[in-house]
A = this chain, B = another copy of it.
Amino acid sequence: MTWRHALVIDPVAENDPRVHFGSTFTPIDPAAPALSVGELSTQRGDGIFESIGVVDGHPQEVAAHLDRLAHSAVLCDLPVPHLEQWRQAVASAAAEAPAGESVMKLILSRGVEHGPAPTAWITLAEAPDFSVPRTRGIRIVTLDRGFDSEAPARAPWLLLGAKTLSYAVNMAAIREARRRGADDAVFVSSDGYLLEGPTSSLILRIDGRFLTPAPGAGILHGTTQMSLFEELARQGHATAYETLPVDALGQADAAWLVSSVRLAAPVTSIDGAPLAVDTDLTAAMNAYLLSPRD
């Protein structure tokens, strides 16, 4: 992975006139030290992020990602991001992207400990080559997320549904999946409902309908899943958000984990039980996801 570009954003308040002059972010050397050891993002994982796929210089679904960034900010009591400022910064970073696929990360940290304000930055890097998982697929295992499905509504301080920088558990779940001989995981609530992957959304096809676990049970509203559902609906397919018990996995004749950069990865086995891959449909999904989307 080659770092291509980075810029530091000076988060502004609503109506800050500097935004009109595009002077609220500064390119930096992505390989040079840029962050203080006092950063609460490092000390506490205290901040929020988004990962945006960039294809041939086009950042995908920017509005949906910025909406979710703003939603995460509210859940985390962070100052609401100035969306026009972030749009400008995303466009500036995307202009540095080479042909092919890149990954852009947007980070809004609570800032330096005891400091006056949040810190924010964007990085752009070459995307890994995901052609193998997109075509040959991935083996997944189900992992208990520990929470019951009512915890998010009962305990908003658990920040379920916010895309925070505190992703140590998500990373540990992927390591556990690999220990079990799989490639990725799907979280299940302690009361037996399907949630999401550690860094992706789950889509099942059951009786010709495309289903994903309903947001609100503490899962992120997936930007790639939303975009793909719109496209599937345009093609005449039925799509739905449902509360899905773990048994629904056994009823699916196809399944995918979808995310902004790896895109649609077809599932080839769940906890060791094989699942067929719909090769043509998966290829069509990824062709759509690689086309410019807004």
Residues in chain A within 8 A of chain B (CB atoms): 1, 3, 6, 28, 30-39, 41-47, 49, 76-77, 105, 107, 109-110, 113-114, 121, 123, 125, 143-148, 151, 154-160, 162, 164-173, 175-176, 190
Contact = CB atoms under 8 A, between A and B. Distances in A.
Contact of A146 (B151, B166, B176): B151
A235 to B, nearest CB: 35
30 contacts: A6-B37, A31-B36, A35-B37, A38-B123, A38-B125, A39-B42, A41-B41, A43-B107, A43-B165, A44-B171, A45-B166, A46-B167, A46-B171, A77-B175, A143-B155, A144-B154, A144-B155, A144-B158, A146-B146, A146-B147, A146-B148, A146-B160, A151-B190, A157-B175, A158-B169, A164-B168, A165-B166, A166-B166, A166-B167, A166-B168
A170 B113 contact: no
B38 A41 contact: no
Contact of A148 (B37, B160, B190): B190
